[in-house]
């Protein structure tokens, strides 16, 4: 066994004395969060994906929502006070966040972008977010994620039909 993987996100949690658990898994190829949750037998409601978007103003925003849900762009824009938002292109994710697709976590990006966590997290005792690299997850209390990212809770999910 090699030494434990410490990502930037984990170092930030350690520095802030925030308790968390790490879950490592094999990840040959990242498909999406639902695929990973299925692979690991995790509940979609506690498994959160991280989306990064740019507003009309040029400001970047981070959104954490359950892996099986779609973001409602209008609700997300309203939550951050923008007229509209668009997803950051996959090729730009690393440049903006310092992370790669599938390893993007709200914690410890290159800059502290405004972060919105879907309001369903508020009811959870623990949630799962990416650990900052492929094959690594961080399990922590939603309130700790909110505090460490300076985030807010909001309804940002598209209604399913």
Domain containing 110 equals 25-154
Per residue in 48-92, pLDDT (tens digit) is: 999 999 999 999 999 999 999 999 999 999 999 999 999 999 899
Per residue in 140-159, pLDDT (tens digit) is: 999 999 999 999 999 999 98
Whether residue 116 is contained in a domain is answered as yes
Q: Does this model's pTM top 0.75? A: yes
Whether residue 8 is contained in a domain is answered as no
**Of 62, 116, 114, nearest in space to 88 by CA:** 62
Whether residue 4 is contained in a domain is answered as no
Q: Which long-range contacts (CB under 8 A, 24 or more apart) does 4-8 make?
A: 5/131, 5/133, 5/136, 7/105, 7/108, 7/131, 7/132, 7/133, 7/136, 8/98, 8/107, 8/108, 8/132
CATH of the domain at 73: 3.90.960.10
Enumerate helices (H) and strands (E) in the chain, giving the number of each: 5, 8
Number of domains forming the structure of the chain: 1
């Amino acid at each position: 066994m090699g030494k434990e993987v410490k990502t930037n996100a984990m170092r930030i949690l350690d520095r802030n004395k925030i308790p968390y658990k790490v879950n490592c898994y094999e990840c040959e190829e990242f498909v999406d969060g639902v695929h990973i949750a299925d692979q690991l037998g995790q509940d979609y409601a506690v498994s959160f994906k991280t989306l990064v978007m740019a507003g009309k103003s040029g400001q970047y925003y981070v959104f954490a929502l359950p892996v099986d849900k779609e973001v409602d762009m209008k609700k997300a824009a309203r939550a951050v006070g923008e007229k509209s938002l668009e997803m950051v292109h996959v090729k730009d994710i690393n440049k903006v966040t310092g992370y790669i697709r599938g390893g993007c976590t709200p914690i410890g990006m290159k800059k502290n972008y405004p972060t919105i966590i879907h309001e369903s997290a508020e009811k959870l005792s623990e949630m799962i977010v990416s650990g900052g690299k492929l094959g690594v997850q961080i399990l922590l209390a939603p309130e700790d994620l909110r505090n460490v990212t300076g985030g807010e809770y909001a309804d940002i999910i598209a209604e399913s039909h």
